[in-house]
Structure 1
């Protein structure tokens, strides 16, 4: 590892440390108090399923981490520490992980946490019936496991997987009761049973999720600020889709805190002496528009490069975020361990170059509307989006559409019914798609761009760009197996800048605002998301 790479990793760790361990406290004598109900105003990205293994929503962990503990804890400095696993050993070939598990841990239904429970969770993540959009991709190298004794599980991988422990710290891989997995797996989405500091109560879809304190809890992560049960009596996550509604709810005292503070309100929050603010850039893949490389027009790399050069990302992001968002420099965010800072500035706004690239691709003629034509076909790209597409992303889409039109590319924005949108996504029947992927490792590049992760009839993958590149596949596979990952991830990021399978727009922040009566509010560093175990109210 070079000194430069080490500096990048330490900078990323410092960013997470500064945000992930923030104590959102003010006033009083600082002595935690038990009791009260904390209400968090969440945005409209409500999970469709509360099984931590069955969702990929941005709001997934905030809704499931109160219920489901993780096997290990990813600390703010990037080190892995014990949680439900007391210790672990890794074989020299990287294929076998032997976990020694914490004892005297119970799930909310009385089931015991042991080696059989951990095995059941791994199998549940892997089971096609779970329809896991995320956890299954993360543990793809998982082969099988063997119970050595009541509290020892030997896990075997099909290939070395350097980020294995890192991803096991994420809320998307939280532990669910083995009894529920075995006897009633169909109930997990609606009523998850874990071992966490809060017990699930009710989910009124479109409105809220409520929890109450687990009085028996005494197995928090080693990095927690206290032991024993949580301080709060109850927790309510209230879904407030509209930005103005969410902010006004905080300002009026209707809620104690809000997630995803609207960017237009951030400066007001910072200026308000009665409110506090904490934020972290989520590691992983930036918010981007992916380009379907498996069919025209984006099967031509020059067309992809042309669109990337035609879009003034700096201007767009500054405008839609009121100057709050950081423009993405590549295909992982700046807070991701392994971020290739040396490539900053590679993506340049250059409409003249965009036009030249389209000329080189053979799109030289134009019709009466100024759209380029080749072999009698207009240069057209179809971008199907959901009816509840976030307003900010819609603004980006409209401005991207306008920029594309200036170089002769017609982007057609479509809003098909939800089921049609899902079907088209699975079939690859689109030219553009939108999203991001937050994770605490540069292995996000394998998840998003390895040809192994293109959706098939047998497996739902996350390579929505449907990119196939042998050189990139080789770099990513060797990196995840532990062969000089820092250098290989650098090379992979450089290769992606050449391939241009997406337009990366911004590094996604997680801005949380709160009333000063809220203390001990923090983020889980593995995936920046509000964490409530140490939180208390000064009432």
Structure 2
């Protein structure tokens, strides 16, 4: 076992260690030798793309975890363990990470997993011209990728970056077949080739996405013959599918069904901690919410406690900051209290006339109780004198529409899982001026400077202080209606073993065994 400690460890939310090549490939131990069966999983929506570096939604990431291996991954306890890399070393100055790869591993198209494939994958994502969604996750800290030899790849970093290893363990770090990338180009998200235990068999948009076992997989053999993702936006329909056995796993479980499902001996429900929060993006580029006072008013207008108690049945908590309490760097800056009169006062001070029409958009079925929460917020805002035009969307179309610089919404219901479990990735993509998922379109130089400082500092204590200041300023600027921190709920049939999620809400299906 090789361990290298460096100043990168100082950030820490995860122990940085290099483990032996005998570790399980997907972060879980082998479970028996049961005959592989077909597994059906019902989600609230379907994946957007099967290109890891262009993926920004959780369901696509769940799919990509089946197809792609990464240099390192997480185990069941959210600790970093080897995957394609059997060991690694961090230079004393923290500005170089070297990975030694497993030998003889192949992609499902038969081409070798080697340093050139790793380099090609990361060179592609850090090339700004490719305009991939996860450009900023890697380009901000990777300076250069080097194929040192056939099975050794190294990364020169722009600065010592605390969350570097966990960023490589992120699903967005999945390694592509270089041959397939060159052949498919921009269409690779519909025709992916990785080195994981499953490969895509069939994708019928709006109906199903089917993965079949990669029987030549280098690690533990696939536990399922096929895994099928089915998009089922209607919450109650997913629960019924679980009860009847039409689905083996459902995500999420609607809060109103949890107690009933728990009483069914053929079904189990997991309620686990999550790093995901839910918020209402406020379009800061459109009047009247280009004024921070008007944005603060919306926060006072919304009854978050009732959302948590009544709509979420207690399976969430009122958000106390722009990142959840499981995220490294979190500090409570306090929730806006429910105060409709204060909301009316601030709206008047901001010059917002009673009866002003605003547009509220929401996905339907992507996040637990998303539409119901949006409808409740519509009522709250109407109660303080605003006229609210409500529109629900299919998730893929919703993402595309809200990213449009000319988008005409005033409010859009969004959620973010800080999937590196670090405040850097909890804030940078969604609140920096050029963040890829900055749906509020906030442009605040002071917030930008704090997030940048937090990213580039190698001192853990300094980083924590920076994030305290950042979270306070974000609350004051109110680019969102701060709503809640989710718990993650998963329902599954009792004949399944080893069902679990990481706390960044990746549902890990590689190790599930169906009896």
Q: Fold conserved (TM > 0.5)?
A: yes
**How far does residue 198 in structure 1 lie from its aligned partner after superposition?**
1.6
**After superposition, where does 1:4-83 map in structure 2 within 5 Å?**
32-75=32-75, 77-83=77-83
In structure 1, distance between residues paired with 2:191 and 2:351: 56
Alignment partner, residue 377 of structure 2: 400
Alignment partner, residue 273 of structure 1: 265
Q: Which string of whole-angstrom CA distances, capped at 9 and with x for unpartnered residues, describes residues 267-310 of structure 1?
A: 112222222222334315x1111112233211211111111011
In structure 2, distance between residues paired with 1:31 and 1:406: 55
250-259 or 94-103: which moved more?
94-103
Check 1:99–1:211 CA distance in 2 against 1; reply closer, same or farther (3 A cut): same
- Report if aligned partners of 1:124, 1:181 keep a CA contact under 8 Å in 2: no
Q: Quote the RMSD (CA, aligned, Å).
A: 3.0
Alignment partner, residue 233 of structure 1: 225
- Report if aligned partners of 1:383, 1:411 keep a CA contact under 8 Å in 2: yes
Alignment partner, residue 136 of structure 2: 137
Q: Which string of whole-angstrom CA distances, capped at 9 and with x for unpartnered residues, describes residues 492-521 of structure 1?
A: 212211111101222233311111111122
Check 1:297–1:446 CA distance in 2 against 1; reply closer, same or farther (3 A cut): same
- Report if aligned partners of 2:267, 2:492 keep a CA contact under 8 Å in 1: yes
**How far does residue 361 in structure 1 lie from its aligned partner after superposition?**
2.8
Residue 258 (1) aligns with residue 247 (2): no
Residue 360 (1) aligns with residue 359 (2): no
Aligned match of 2:335 in 314, 334, 346? Answer: 346
**After superposition, where does 1:195-210 map in structure 2 within 5 Å?**
195-210=195-210
**How far does residue 59 in structure 1 lie from its aligned partner after superposition?**
0.8
Alignment partner, residue 123 of structure 1: 123
**After superposition, where does 1:97-246 map in structure 2 within 5 Å?**
97-127=97-127, 131-133=131-133, 135-141=134-140, 142-219=142-219, 228-246=220-238
Q: Which string of whole-angstrom CA distances, capped at 9 and with x for unpartnered residues, describes residues 472-502 of structure 1?
A: 2222111111342222222221221111110
Alignment partner, residue 448 of structure 1: 430
**How far does residue 128 in structure 1 lie from its aligned partner after superposition?**
5.4
In structure 2, distance between residues paired with 1:255 and 1:424: 31
**How far does residue 112 in structure 1 lie from its aligned partner after superposition?**
1.0
**How far does residue 319 in structure 1 lie from its aligned partner after superposition?**
2.5
SS of residue paired to 1:338: coil
- Report if aligned partners of 2:28, 2:511 keep a CA contact under 8 Å in 1: no
515-524 or 298-307: which moved more?
515-524
**How far does residue 52 in structure 1 lie from its aligned partner after superposition?**
1.9
In structure 2, distance between residues paired with 1:511 and 1:59: 14
Check 1:31–1:99 CA distance in 2 against 1; reply closer, same or farther (3 A cut): closer
Residue 412 (1) aligns with residue 404 (2): no
**How far does residue 388 in structure 1 lie from its aligned partner after superposition?**
7.6
- Report if aligned partners of 2:249, 2:492 keep a CA contact under 8 Å in 1: yes
- Report if aligned partners of 1:22, 1:278 keep a CA contact under 8 Å in 2: no
Check 1:21–1:420 CA distance in 2 against 1; reply closer, same or farther (3 A cut): closer
In structure 2, distance between residues paired with 1:43 and 1:87: 35
In structure 1, distance between residues paired with 2:400 and 2:513: 41
Determine which structure has greater relative contact order: mean sequence separation of CA pairs < 8 Å that are 6+ residues apart, divided by chain length: 1
In structure 1, distance between residues paired with 2:511 and 2:174: 18
In structure 1, distance between residues paired with 2:392 and 2:216: 48
In structure 1, distance between residues paired with 2:347 and 2:232: 44
Residue 471 (1) aligns with residue 446 (2): yes
473-482 or 85-94: which moved more?
85-94
**How far does residue 212 in structure 1 lie from its aligned partner after superposition?**
2.5
SS of residue paired to 1:188: helix
Check 1:93–1:253 CA distance in 2 against 1; reply closer, same or farther (3 A cut): same
**How far does residue 203 in structure 1 lie from its aligned partner after superposition?**
1.5
Alignment partner, residue 315 of structure 1: 306
Check 1:504–1:120 CA distance in 2 against 1; reply closer, same or farther (3 A cut): same
Check 1:514–1:421 CA distance in 2 against 1; reply closer, same or farther (3 A cut): closer
Q: Which string of whole-angstrom CA distances, capped at 9 and with x for unpartnered residues, describes residues 339-371 of structure 1?
A: 21x43x4321122222232343345xx5xxx43
Number of residue pairs matched?
485
- Report if aligned partners of 1:101, 1:152 keep a CA contact under 8 Å in 2: yes
423-432 or 288-297: which moved more?
423-432
In structure 1, distance between residues paired with 2:151 and 2:64: 24
**How far does residue 249 in structure 1 lie from its aligned partner after superposition?**
1.4
- Report if aligned partners of 2:197, 2:222 keep a CA contact under 8 Å in 1: yes
**How far does residue 68 in structure 1 lie from its aligned partner after superposition?**
0.6
**How far does residue 331 in structure 1 lie from its aligned partner after superposition?**
0.9
- Report if aligned partners of 1:22, 1:521 keep a CA contact under 8 Å in 2: no
- Report if aligned partners of 2:367, 2:415 keep a CA contact under 8 Å in 1: no
Q: Which string of whole-angstrom CA distances, capped at 9 and with x for unpartnered residues, describes residues 98-148 of structure 1?
A: 222222211111111111011111123234575422x22311323331211
In structure 1, distance between residues paired with 2:317 and 2:393: 31
- Report if aligned partners of 2:362, 2:392 keep a CA contact under 8 Å in 1: yes
**How far does residue 420 in structure 1 lie from its aligned partner after superposition?**
10
Alignment partner, residue 514 of structure 2: 537
SS of residue paired to 2:510: coil
Residue 492 (1) aligns with residue 470 (2): yes
- Report if aligned partners of 1:45, 1:58 keep a CA contact under 8 Å in 2: no
SS of residue paired to 2:179: helix
288-297 or 159-168: which moved more?
159-168
- Report if aligned partners of 2:95, 2:157 keep a CA contact under 8 Å in 1: yes
- Report if aligned partners of 2:58, 2:505 keep a CA contact under 8 Å in 1: no
In structure 1, distance between residues paired with 2:391 and 2:495: 45
In structure 2, distance between residues paired with 1:315 and 1:424: 27
- Report if aligned partners of 2:242, 2:250 keep a CA contact under 8 Å in 1: yes
Residue 332 (1) aligns with residue 323 (2): yes
Check 1:416–1:148 CA distance in 2 against 1; reply closer, same or farther (3 A cut): closer
- Report if aligned partners of 1:45, 1:57 keep a CA contact under 8 Å in 2: no
- In the alignment, structure 1 segments of 5+ residues that lack a partner are 1-5, 11-19, 24-29, 220-227, 372-378, 454-460
Runs of 4+ displaced beyond 6 Å: 20-23, 387-391, 415-421
